[in-house]
Structure formats: C-alpha cells, structure tokens
Structure 1
Amino acid sequence: MDLNLRKAILSNIASNDQEQLEATIVDAIQAGEEKMLPGLGVLFELIWKQSDEQDKQEMIESLEQGVKQANDA
C-alpha cells in the first residue's frame, strides 16, 4: 500500500477556513500526541513556502527562542 501522508493531510484540510485551520493547530498542540506531529509538519511546510525571507527569519528567531525556553524548562 502506497500511502502519501502529505497528500492525505492536505486533502483532509482542503476545505477548511481560517477558524478551522487555527482549531486544528491548537487542538494538535494541546493534545500533545506524537501522531499529530506529521500534520503540524505539513502545515508548517505550507506556511514556510508562502513566507517571504523576512517572515522566515522571524519564524527562525521565534523557533530559536522556543527551543531555548523548552530546554530551560
């Protein structure tokens, strides 16, 4: 069986509006389940591809801060 996880995730959210997309992200993070990580990865990939260099730099800076805070906890 050839399962394209990225394609399946995109298909599942294809008709979602902004509110539904936000709820998907919030639910996945709050649940903290490992099985949600691939979906969040696909969403991040979409965001990254749509971002300009300044937005990407801001995301990297936010990510760096988040990593530091997570390691300090």
Structure 2
Amino acid sequence: MDLNLRKAIVSNIATNDQEQLEATIVDAIQAGEEKMLPGLGVLFELIWEQSNEQDKQDMIEALEQGVKNANAT
C-alpha cells in the first residue's frame, strides 16, 4: 500500500476555513500526542512555503526563543 502522508493530511484539511485550521493546530498541540507531530510538520511546511523571507526570519526567531524557553524549564 502506497501511503503519502503529506497528501492525506492536506486532503483532510483541504476544505477547512481559518477557524477550523486554527482549531486543528490548537487541538494537536494541546493533546501533546506524538502521533500528531507529522501532521503539525506538514502544516508548518505549508506555512513555510507560503511565507516571504521576512516571515521566515520571524518564524526562525520565534522558534529560537521557544527552544531557549523550553530548554530553560
């Protein structure tokens, strides 16, 4: 069986509006389940691909800060 995880995830959210997309992200993070990580990765990939260079830099800075904060606890 050929399973393309990216296509499956995108297909599952293809008709979602902004509110539903936000709920998907929030639910996945709050659940804290390892099985949700691939889906969040695909969502991040989609965001990254649609972002300009300044947005990408902002995300990297936010990620750096998040890593530092997570490591401090």
Give your verdict on TM over 0.5: yes
How many pairs are equivalent?
73
Alignment of 1:1-73 (within 5 A): 1-73=1-73
TM-score (norm 2): 0.99
Instruction: Give deviations 1:3-56, integer Å, cap 9, x for gaps.
Output: 000000000000000000000000000000000000000000000000000000
Structure 2 unmatched runs, 5+: none
In the TM superposition, structure 1's runs of 4+ consecutive aligned residues that sit over 6 Å from their partners are none
Structure 1 unmatched runs, 5+: none
TM-score (norm 1): 0.99
- C-alpha separation between the residues in 2 aligned to 1:22 and 1:47? 13
CA RMSD of aligned residues (A): 0.3
Aligned sequence identity (%): 88
